[in-house]
Structures are given as C-alpha cells and as structure tokens.
Amino acid sequence: MLFALGLFGALLFALGFPAHAQQLVKAPKLGCYMLGAAGLGTREEAFRQGLKDLGYVEGQNIFIEWRFAAGQADQDKTIVDELVRLNVDIIVTDGNRSTSAAKNATRTIPIVMAVSGDPLGAGLVKTLARPGGNITGLTLLSPELSGKRLEILKETMPKISHVAVLFNPSNPGATLYLNEVQVAAKSLGLQLQTLKASSPTELASALDLGRPLRFWHMLIESNTYRPMFKYWSPMSVGSWALLVFGIFVFLAFLEALVEDDRLAWPAGRKFRPPGMLGGVIAVIGGLFGFYVAGYTGVLLAVTNRPIWSDTPLLGMLFVVSAASISYFVPMYHYQLSGAVTGRAHALITLPDAMLFSSRVQVAKFAAQNRVPAMFPESEFVNEGGLMSYGPNLPDLFRRAAVYVDKILKGAKPADLPVEQPTKFELVINLKTAKQIGLTIPQTVLYRADQVIR
C-alpha cells in the first residue's frame, strides 16, 4: 500500500513538475505601436524575421500586441496607455511621434525605436552614445543624405535649375535636413522652393495649389472636365459670382508668374500681400468666395428634397466651405510661389513619418504632373515614385529585434547606443521614368541597387 502511494506520488511529481516549470518561465510580451495602417506587412514581417533569427517565434515563446494608428495622431495616447495597462515587457515604436507618446506614458517600460527621425532634437534621448532613460533603438538621423539625394537628382537631370522641397516643419529634424539641402543646392547652382506640410490636410493643400488648371477647367471645357460657367443657365447668378472669384484667383496666378520671372510685368508685384493692392484682391476674392459657397448651399436647399433633410447639421458644411474658399485667395498668394508645377523642375521630399504615411498621394501627384521626384524611402518608389536614396527600412526593423533580445536578457536601454544606418540603397522606377518622359542616365542606373522595370 505504501509502495503504491509512493509510486502514485512520484507519477504526480513527474507529470506536474514540467507544467509547473513552464509556468515559472513566462514568455515575454511586446507592444508594437506602428504609425501606419495594419496589413502593410513589410516592416512587421521584417521584425518577426529578426526575432525568429534570434530564436523567438511569435505565439510560442514570445507574444506581440500589435497596434496601428493608421495615420491618426489622436490615437497615440489611447494606444500607448493600453499597452502600458497590458503590462508589456517592451514597447517597440516606428517614429518620433509614437516614441514620444510612449515616453509620456511610461518611464519604466523599455522602449525600442525601430525607426526614429531626430531623437536628440525631440528630446527622446540624452545622446546617441548613451541614451539614458528607458529609450534606445535606431535612428534615420543622417541629414547629409538630403544633400546626397539632391546631388543624384541633379546628376539625373543636369539641366534643372529649380527644385521644390517638400517637408514637415513640425518635424524636429526638419531644420537639419533642410540646411543640408540648402548647402548642396548652393554648390550645385540650384534654387529651392519650399512646400511645407505639417498634417495630411496641409499636404493636400500644398499639392493641390500646384494645379491651378483645375480651376481653369471649371470654366473651359476639356476632355477631362466639363465647364461649369454657362451664361444662359438659370444658375447664372452663381456662375457670374464664380467668374468674378476666378478673376481674382487669376490675378494671384499672374503674381506668382511675375515673382518667378516668367512674366515681365513689374506692376504685378503689387498684387502680393501684405501690399495694399494685394490685400484688396485677397479681401474681395475672399468675399466672393464666401458668396459662391453660400449660393451653392442655397441651390441645394431649395430642391424638392433638401440634401440635409435627414441630417440638419449638414448645412454647416457650407459654412465651413465658405470659410475655406474665403481663405483660398490669400493662401494662394503665399503658397503658389512654391508650388511644384508653378516653377520647379523637380521635387525632393525630406524624411518624415507623416509624409511617409501619405506616400501614395505624394508619389501619385509627382507622376501625374510629370515631376521627377527623389524620396528618402524606397516605399515611395514602390508606390510609383521615381527614385529614392536611403536606408533599407525593413533592415532597421530586423535590427530592432536585436535590441529587444538584449533587453530581454538584462541589458538596460540607457546603456545601449542608438544606431545610425550605414548602408544606403538607390532605387529607381523605370516605369515612372517612362511615364513622365525622362531618360535615366546609364551612370545613375549602374549605381542603382534596385531597378523597377
């Protein structure tokens, strides 16, 4: 009897001990906060592969809580607060914005930057060599690359003289990048025009204001657009108002041509605010813009079934529309002088998470307007951009897994130096080159690490 009980106890011990041991070895849990949308795949898979190379398999001996902001900055605090509540062991981020949000949420959970812009300028780390605090990882901070991109662009098109620079002024590294571009432009004999966009809305405005032909085709029929102005129409009152508004927009356009020395008309410089004549044009144009938007609302209101019959608040849409159009003329005065299609022969985009999230829009704009463009990441080229020069982002995400491994094994983020990329790739899209009618010199093609045909 005693032997049987002893044997039964031994069996329980033998069967129960492994389960108990497994409970003692807790699988680490990561919180990965990506600024883009879910399903993009490339970066996430690169990170998973980096972990796998180090012996970590998601769902087996490591767990990952994936969160995606899809470009919505208002989600930052909600997402990082949730990751902190989940008690993750490490938070992995992919930009200054997500890293800053994570830093504000916790000073104890280690944070690994898979990608960051200027962590020094953003106050995320004390130094690159010794970050201090709970943040370390990788940075794209290589401002000298911006000058190199401009050199490649000039080599590709030796005859260009004006280049537009699209950047986010709220990016902490924007000043460094822009300074490098300006130095390179001076040595290459190029003139720069800046296009500033600190949000997707401002980006849309900056790009759209470079296409004044859109307004032209509202008045003149083409294969793409039907004219809106018909003097015999019952809506002629609104059409005449639109025409007057268009005249003031046209004056703003003439002023941009004069400023660019494309039109020899010295008197045209008087149209520019804050000069008196420019101010008058802006005010009158804005008033007519308000009338045009308001008149549109009236037309929709007097139909048999008003458009906002089921949604009364929709009427406010026309108030917003009127205010936006009223602001259009003065904004046009300031923005058009730097618009890509107005005077620049090429476009260069500076590194920024917001611009990266809008890469499809930016690449499409450049291609549709036949503007040769140089981008900081190859993902722009994959979306139809002409060329890019910069680090391979998936490689950085694979490298981020090394930081995760070191921290899980006891290393402190404060003691792990922030790494900068050392390998850079030139990617060229020959499909886009053909679309915009550009021949890439063989000397540039030979240097390309990847060519999309």
The residue with tokens 């045209």 is 268
Is the model's pLDDT at 267 over the cut of 80?
no
Total domain count, the chain? 2
In one-letter notation, the amino acid at residue 30 is L
| pLDDT at site 10 | 46
Is the model's pLDDT at 432 over the cut of 80?
yes
Residue 170 lies in a domain: yes
Considering only residues 285 and 55, tell me which one the structure prediction assigns the higher pLDDT.
55
Lowest-confidence pick of 131-140, 257-266, 369-378? 257-266
How many degrees, rounded to 5, is the angle at CA 43 between CA 41 and CA 46? 100
Are both 175 and 319 inside the same structural domain?
Answer: yes
The residue with tokens 């923005």 is 335
In terms of C-beta density within 10 A (0-12 exposed, 13-18 middle, 19 or more buried), how is residue 410 classed? exposed
Considering only residues 323 and 439, tell me which one the structure prediction assigns the higher pLDDT.
439
Are both 193 and 129 inside the same structural domain?
Answer: no
Q: In the listed set 343, 366, 387, which residue is the last one of a domain according to the structure?
A: 343
| pLDDT at site 185 | 93
Q: In the listed set 313, 343, 373, which residue is the last one of a domain according to the structure?
A: 343
| pLDDT at site 145 | 86
Are both 289 and 242 inside the same structural domain?
Answer: yes
In terms of C-beta density within 10 A (0-12 exposed, 13-18 middle, 19 or more buried), how is residue 84 classed? middle
pLDDT band, residue 1 (cuts 50/70/90): very low
| pLDDT at site 278 | 65
| pLDDT at site 58 | 94
Lowest-confidence pick of 35-44, 98-107, 191-200, 282-291? 282-291
DSSP string, 84-130: HHTT-SEEEESSHHHHHHHHHH-SSS-EEESS-S-TTTTTS-S-SSS
> For the chain, what is the mean pLDDT?
77
What domain range includes position 56?
Answer: 15-142+395-415
| pLDDT at site 333 | 40
Are both 83 and 162 inside the same structural domain?
Answer: no
Residue 89 lies in a domain: yes
In one-letter notation, the amino acid at residue 6 is G
Percent of the chain with pLDDT over 90: 40
| pLDDT at site 335 | 45
Are both 321 and 287 inside the same structural domain?
Answer: yes
Are both 31 and 133 inside the same structural domain?
Answer: yes
Are both 157 and 269 inside the same structural domain?
Answer: yes
Whole-structure pTM value: 0.64
Q: Find the mean pLDDT for residues 69-83.
A: 86
Residue 269 lies in a domain: yes
Is the model's pLDDT at 103 over the cut of 90?
yes
Is the model's pLDDT at 231 over the cut of 60?
no
Residue 427 lies in a domain: no
Q: In the listed set 343, 359, 384, which residue is the last one of a domain according to the structure?
A: 343
Are both 257 and 290 inside the same structural domain?
Answer: yes
- Say how far residue 277 (Cα) sits from the centre of its chain: 37
How many degrees, rounded to 5, is the angle at CA 370 between CA 368 and CA 376? 90
Lowest-confidence pick of 257-266, 313-322, 393-402, 415-424? 313-322
Q: Find the mean pLDDT for residues 263-270.
A: 69
Is the model's pLDDT at 310 over the cut of 90?
no
- CATH number, domain containing residue 80: 3.40.50.2300
| pLDDT at site 97 | 86
Are both 204 and 242 inside the same structural domain?
Answer: yes
Residue 331 lies in a domain: yes
Are both 63 and 156 inside the same structural domain?
Answer: no
Are both 198 and 334 inside the same structural domain?
Answer: yes
Lowest-confidence pick of 196-205, 231-240, 333-342? 333-342
